[in-house]
Amino acid sequence: MHTTEDISIGYDVLEANKKLARNNRTTLEKYGITAFNIMGAIGSGKTLLIEKTIGRLGDSYRIGAIAGDVVARLDASRFEKLGIPVIGLNTGKECHLDAHLVEHGLSKLPLDKLDILFIENVGNLICPADFELGEHKRIVIVSVSEGDDIVEKHPLIFSTADLIIINKIDIAEAVNADADKMVRDARIINPRIDVLKMSLKTGEGFDKWVEFIFMA
Ligand SMILES: Nc1nc2c(ncn2[C@@H]2O[C@H](COP(=O)(O)OP(=O)(O)OP(=O)(O)O)[C@@H](O)[C@H]2O)c(=O)[nH]1
Ligand SMILES: [Mg+2]
């Protein structure tokens, strides 16, 4: 059972996080870096989205990454292979990155050599919603293989997004999912923003994501 005390501790933690997030934002802006917080379900395509974006924009922009994982540095090493500066952050038991961890990541990155920073958050649709990191844009990516009710089951995180991506539409039929229903659910939760249907496998929808980056 929650007590008033629990709730006020939670509030203090979020307020302290917000302050650190504002500091991170100031640091990023000092260096002219645009930062994207990539949130989403486990296995929805966060790392592949960033890898493909590095493939598309890596010759024109200086891209860096922060990869949040509970343990190990598997995603960080995927980005490293593409020759960009990467910091892997392990959250241990925590199911989200927070502004303090990102501050640490920023202190280790060559900020004067970056134009764009991708922050891959820990895969889930609950905890990352509350924690701002200092990012300029918040992206939530889910895929049809999580079930076409995944959006309506997690309204909070979708309501905080600047862009929602419904990925893996190439396998929608095989997993019996209605991608258009997911788009409709996302638009009901967050009518102000774009919802993109995407397949990172076939490339469908990817140009619109690149346009979003240019507009950010
Ligand atoms: N068919 C299909 N597979 C995809 C697509 N996008 C990603 N995948 C596959 O889905 C799997 C997970 O992709 P990742 O990019 O590692 O997913 P992630 O969200 O980073 O996963 P975590 O970091 O573990 O939460 C990989 O096997 C990808 O190849 C897609 O559009 N279509
Ligand atoms: Mg990943």
* pLDDT tens per residue across span 32-81: 999 999 999 999 999 999 999 999 999 999 999 999 988 878 999 999 99
**Distance in Å, CA 196 to ligand 2 centroid:** 19
Q: What is the mean pLDDT of residues 97-113?
A: 97
Does residue 143 surpass a pLDDT of 60? yes
Asked if 63 and 38 count as a contact pair (C-beta separation under 8 A), the reply is: no
Lining residues, ligand 1, CB within 6 Å: 40, 42-48, 75, 123, 167-168, 170-171, 199-201
pLDDT at 93: 86
Q: How far is the CA of 30 from the centre of ligand 1 (A)?
A: 33
Number of continuous H segments (helices) and E segments (strands) in the chain: 8, 7
pLDDT of residue 2: 53
| 46-57 vs 206-215: helix crossing angle, rounded to 10 | 70
Average pLDDT, the chain: 94
4: pLDDT strictly greater than 70: no
- pLDDT of 7 > 70? The answer is no
Out of 47, 122, 157, mutate this one to test ligand 1's pocket (max ligand atoms within 8 Å of CB): namely: 47
Structural domain count of the chain: 1
Q: Is the pLDDT of residue 12 over 60?
A: yes
CATH code where residue 183 lies: 3.40.50.300
Model pTM above 0.85 = yes
What range defines the domain where residue 80 resides?
4-215
User: Could you count the other beta carbons within 10 Å of the beta carbon of residue 132?
Assistant: 21
Among all bound ligands, the one having the nearest atom to the CA of 51 is 1
38, 47, 48: residue to mutate for ligand 1 pocket, most atoms within 8 A of CB: 48
Q: What's residue 8's pLDDT?
A: 57
Which band of pLDDT confidence, cut at 50, 70 and 90, is reported for residue 11? confident
Contact of 163 with 137, CB cutoff 8 Å: yes
